[in-house]
A and B are shown apart, each in its own frame.
Chain A
Amino acid sequence: MRQIIPAIVLLLLSCVSAQAQDSVNVAVAKASPGSNKFAVYGNAEASYISNSAAKGFGEINFKPIFLWRISPRLFIEAEMEIETGGGSADLGLEYANMCYTVNPYLTLHAGRFLPKFGAYRGRLAEGFINRFSSNPTGFGDGGIGASVETGVGALGALPFGDIKILYDCYVVNGPHLLTDTLNAGQFDYEAYTANNNSLAVGGRIAIVPLAASNLELGFSFQHKAKTGDAGTENENVSLDMQAVDLNWYQNISALQSTLRITGELRHQKTGANAAYLAADGVTKYLFANSPRAWYLSGSLRPALVDNTFFRNLEFAYRYSNYKRPVNAPWGGAAVTSNEFAVDYWLHWNSLIKLAYQSKSDEPKTFYASVVFGF
């Protein structure tokens, strides 16, 4: 029944599409002579890291995004990611998403995509959008929440008067439960293939309640009934995830500045029937596995002043908190992080970031990074 609900929603959306005023032009798009409907955009990032344990230039990221608008209805987007953080050049397919615009209010898509689970991953985490050189604790590697998924989905926006409702729903392979000694109870959120016969169902509903479109509030969820590898004793371990997110900005005339507040809370609960093997290879154990992560970030940019130098400056602060399972091999006490950043914008999508991070389980760290959007 649970996996039928998205199908019902899709069916209803299709009904709407029949009545909606369809302004999508199915004719071949008018293009300039010689144009090929293809473009490459993306960003590159390089960082310097300094703390009491290590100093040096960190990983280099190069992330081209390939966009192909085949027709007004057919669109492909794909991102390749080349990273050096692991000590060698790692090449990955971040996403490859094929989209079909049914009508102005509904787009169907299939492939590997960034699910709208919260607003950080897939949108606000982009190098030229994130004001910091790192992720909030609990939102990056080793954290929680949906990341990249393979499957099908539907998305769109519905205007009602002054407000807009944004929706996404999807059926995907979903996360894989990890059971190795170091990561028992964690999940692989970026698996390329399915690990059993269960699919995950998820979605996000957001509201843009103000006519100025400067506030967005979202609620996301994802459910997978079976997350363990097929045939193993943990196959039937379930995973439920929820997230709420906030994104607001406002020009403040008195300060001649733009204030931006973003935040997100993620929570997930793993089924209580999981059992893991201890390092001795014999003893089995289990633990309550309900981690939670959240962050709140604020930035101020004097974007309305005349002086070009000050106009391109931005000051940001972020607090993040990651409550891990106490008895998990990757768990322990809650991790908190305070981060301060001063950014200088070189272009609308290119900037220099200077950030200082004070994290409860790591040495205090200074980051300097440069991001070029292209």
Chain B
Amino acid sequence: MKKILIIFAVFSIVILATSLLTGCYVSAKVANKSGAQLWGENCNRCHNAPAPGELNNDNWDIVGTHMQIRANLTKTDVEKITDFLKSANN
């Protein structure tokens, strides 16, 4: 068990050290993804994607935060997805 804890800690430190040196970044291919594309990709990883227009804008913000925590979505992805889902209400 001690080995596992050490490996976990070393892995975490490597990730964090890398992010300190480079900052978390995304490739151009990922950065250019639309909210619609991210909605299809990320929601479907666990469940069917809910349709735009299903909820009002305030509730999309609430659900977005819930899914960010439940599924470890990135903040950027959540913001793009909720903006896309809200677009049907505007």
Binding site for B on A (CB under 8 A): 2, 5, 8-9, 12-13, 15-16, 19-21, 23-24, 29, 31-32, 35, 37-39, 41, 65, 67-69, 75, 77, 97, 99, 101, 104-105, 107, 109, 116, 122-124, 126, 128-129, 155-162, 164-169, 201, 203, 205-206, 211-214, 216, 221, 223, 238, 240, 242, 247, 249, 258, 345, 348-349
B50 interface contact, C-beta 8 A: yes
A350 to chain B: closest residue by CB:
B48
Q: With a CB–CB cut-off of 8 A, which chain A residues contact B8?
A: 5, 203, 205, 221
Q: With a CB–CB cut-off of 8 A, which chain B residues contact A12?
A: 12-13, 16
Q: With a CB–CB cut-off of 8 A, which chain A residues contact B73?
A: 157
A310 to chain B, nearest CB (A): 16
The 3 nearest A-B residue pairs measured at CB:
A104-B75, A166-B72, A348-B48
Please determine whether B62 and A37 come into contact, CB atoms closer than 8 angstroms: yes
Q: Determine which residue in B19, B61, B68, B75 has the highest number of CB atoms from chain A within 10 A of its CB, and name it.
A: B75
Please determine whether B30 and A159 come into contact, CB atoms closer than 8 angstroms: yes
A-B contact pairs, 12 of them (CB 8 A): A2-B5, A9-B12, A15-B20, A20-B19, A23-B75, A29-B61, A37-B62, A75-B66, A123-B46, A124-B46, A159-B25, A214-B44
User: Is chain B's interface secondary structure helix, strand, loop, or mixed overall?
Assistant: helix
Across the interface, B24 reaches (CB within 8 A) one of A5, A37, A123, A158, namely: A158
CA distance A348 to B70 in the complex (A): 18
Given known A-B contacts A15-B20, A223-B5, A39 and B62 have beta carbons under 8 A apart = yes
Q: With a CB–CB cut-off of 8 A, which chain B residues contact A348?
A: 47-51, 54
Q: With a CB–CB cut-off of 8 A, which chain A residues contact B29?
A: 162, 211
Known: A116-B72, A122-B70, A155-B72. 19 other contacts (CB 8 A): A5-B8, A9-B16, A12-B16, A19-B23, A20-B24, A23-B75, A29-B61, A32-B56, A67-B65, A105-B24, A157-B73, A160-B24, A162-B30, A167-B15, A213-B41, A216-B45, A221-B8, A349-B47, A349-B48
Q: With a CB–CB cut-off of 8 A, which chain B residues contact A20?
A: 19, 23-24
Given known A-B contacts A5-B5, A13-B16, A69-B65, A24 and B44 have beta carbons under 8 A apart = no
B14 to chain A, nearest CB (A): 10
Please determine whether B76 and A39 come into contact, CB atoms closer than 8 angstroms: no
| Number of residues of chain B lying within 8 A (CB) of chain A | 52
Q: Which of B7-43 contact A (CB under 8 A)?
A: 8-9, 11-13, 15-16, 18-20, 23-27, 29-30, 38, 41-42
Please determine whether B15 and A158 come into contact, CB atoms closer than 8 angstroms: yes
CA distance A116 to B70 in the complex (A): 9
Q: With a CB–CB cut-off of 8 A, which chain B residues contact A167?
A: 12, 15, 72
CA distance A105 to B18 in the complex (A): 14
Given known A-B contacts A8-B9, A223-B5, A247 and B46 have beta carbons under 8 A apart = yes
B31 to chain A: closest residue by CB:
A159
CA distance A353 to B65 in the complex (A): 30
Please determine whether B76 and A104 come into contact, CB atoms closer than 8 angstroms: yes
CA distance A205 to B79 in the complex (A): 23
A65 to chain B: closest residue by CB:
B66
Q: Determine which residue in B1, B61, B63 has the highest number of CB atoms from chain A within 10 A of its CB, and name it.
A: B1
Please determine whether B72 and A156 come into contact, CB atoms closer than 8 angstroms: yes
B55 to chain A: closest residue by CB:
A39
Please determine whether A247 and B45 come into contact, CB atoms closer than 8 angstroms: yes
Please determine whether B47 and A205 come into contact, CB atoms closer than 8 angstroms: no
A11 to chain B, nearest CB (A): 10
Across the interface, B69 reaches (CB within 8 A) one of A99, A214, A258, namely: A99
B56 to chain A: closest residue by CB:
A32
B17 to chain A: closest residue by CB:
A12
Q: With a CB–CB cut-off of 8 A, which chain A residues contact B1?
A: 221, 223, 238, 240
B70 to chain A, nearest CB (A): 7
Please determine whether A123 and B11 come into contact, CB atoms closer than 8 angstroms: no
Please determine whether B19 and A16 come into contact, CB atoms closer than 8 angstroms: yes
Q: With a CB–CB cut-off of 8 A, which chain A residues contact B46?
A: 123-124, 129, 247
